[in-house]
Amino acid sequence: MKCLKIAGLALALLAPAAPSRAGEAVNLTLNWTPTADHSPFYYAKAQGWYEKAGIDLTIETGKGSGVSALKVGSGGAPFGVADLATALVARSKGADVVALMSIYANTGQTFYWLKSYGVNGPKDFPGHKIGNPPGDASRVMWPAFAKAAGIAPDSVNFVNVGPTAKIAALKSHTVDIISDFYNEHDLKVIEFGADLGYVNWKDIGLNPYGNSLIVNGAFLEKNPKLVADFVQITQKAYAACVADVAPCLQALLDQVSGLDRENQQRQWERIKYLMTDEFTTTRALGWIDGERMKQDYELVQTYLGMEKPFDVRTAFTTKMLDSSIKMDASRVKK
């Protein structure tokens, strides 16, 4: 009997090992080229967290929130990152897209100006030129900003300025005001110093959700466990990067060329501010509030339009979030 057991063990050792189950191939389409706000995805992948959950993740460079929302909504990718207002518009056009967690709990939309040009706040905007691209969200949503600021929507002139030419246009006085995202704030501080003035839209009471993690609705229905794992790993990664961003930026820089570490570091400090609100600090990192979503829906319906109205409650879920993972506000400075 003992010989049989030894022989059986020997055969087992000689037999080829059963192949491990391959992870499910999953694509994440970003909203734009990778920068600091995407570093947690790269960090979690480098740490093997997605892989351990059976997720074989590929991160794809994006070409705008509109593109990523439509790609996810059509089933071209299961996950994506998109501005939430843009995702709502895509859903009204038939895109099967559901928001899973907010990345920017606060809007990044910001107007910048030089005080030496005679502008000290939104009340001084009338009669001045604002520079941004024609399709820029801040231009499209300008009537909402003007109403919140108490100025006439037709009191300013818009000038077409490309995304990379905004600082130069402001410096040359081609325009008096520019719009940009708050995570790029420090580049303007370095360029203009004490002469720089700015207002984030949140400061005048206009605060739609910004970049968010989205999923294809059919994929969510078919793979709830995988989606929950993906969301909670992503939460864990963002929390880890809030605690110490150095390894996260290293993971990003290892995979993405052409980025300046110091600039990305500065961006991350601003991103932490954009991630923080009363819900992400008390309910869960990435929490999406139902009442705010109703307000965002009404804002989008008024200024961007909805081809086919829908119940906004079907456009997001917080069920996948781990409520034990919260945003650490003590690590945030504005």
One DSSP character per residue, 168-197 reads HHHHTTS-SEEEEEGGGHHHHHHHHGGGEE
The per-residue pLDDT for 226 is: 98
Mean pLDDT of 178-191: 93
CATH architecture of the domain with range 24-105+209-331: 3-Layer(aba) Sandwich (3.40)
Domain with CATH 3.40.190.10 in the chain: 24-105+209-331, 109-204
Top-confidence residue, 64 or 56: 56
Strand partners, 213: 81, 101
- The model's pTM is 0.86
CATH class of 109-204: alpha beta
Q: How confident is the model at residue 297 (pLDDT cuts 50, 70, 90)?
A: very high
- C-beta separation of 307 from 91 below 8 A: no
The per-residue pLDDT for 334 is: 64
Q: How confident is the model at residue 145 (pLDDT cuts 50, 70, 90)?
A: very high
Q: Give the whole-angstrom CA distance, residue 231 versus residue 100.
A: 7
The per-residue pLDDT for 15 is: 39
- C-beta separation of 105 from 202 below 8 A: no
Among 234, 221, 316, 239, CA closest to 55: 234
Residues in the chain: 334
Among 252, 270, 251, 158, CA closest to 210: 270
The per-residue pLDDT for 14 is: 38
The per-residue pLDDT for 238 is: 98
